[in-house]
Amino acid sequence: MEEKGTKPRFGIVNFERRRHPRFNIDLPIEYYPVDSSVDHSGQAINVSEGGLLVYFPEKVEVGQHLHLKLFFPSGSELNHVEMFAEAVWVDIHLGKAPGDYRSGLRFVQISSNDLDKLKTFLRSLAE
């Protein structure tokens, strides 16, 4: 017998397990695979202290290491941070246009100076 006023609840619960909050952005990146020196450009869609969501013009592989630069505004200037990142997931190809390969990147190596610049930029987004 069901108690009066009690209704079963159905739905999806999405618990965020990230260590660092993500910020939506739309910023350019330059990158190249660690085993290459040919620069490519892409678009960062969101960022945290630990990684990026990026749209690439070409497919990258899970586990692939990339050297990348993230460009962002700093006052009236354009600033950047450099890091090595690893592709931790890769989405299916979304279409035929360039930039349709989506991937989640985890920072593997970033200098303390660049991490400080990134944290300062992220704090400015949170305000």
* pLDDT in 10s for each residue of the chain, 127 residues: 555 555 555 555 444 455 667 889 999 999 998 888 788 999 999 999 999 999 998 888 999 999 999 999 888 888 999 999 999 999 866 666 655 789 999 999 999 999 999 999 999 888 7
Give the residues across from 126 on adjacent strands. none
Q: Which two tokens stand for residue 122?
A: 């992220």
Tell me which CATH code domain 23-126 carries: 2.40.10.220
DSSP tag of 34 = T
Classify the C-alpha dihedral 13-18-22-27 as positive or negative.
Answer: negative
Backbone φ/ψ region at 59: left (φ over 0), alpha (ψ -120 to 50), beta: beta
In three state form, how does the secondary structure of 48-63 look?
CCCEEEEEECCCCCCC
- Amino acid type, 65: H
DSSP tag of 2 = P
The CA distance from 19 to 59, in Å, is: 27
- Which residue in 55, 63, 67, 47 sits closest to 110, CA to CA? 67
Contact 29, 81 (CB under 8 A): no
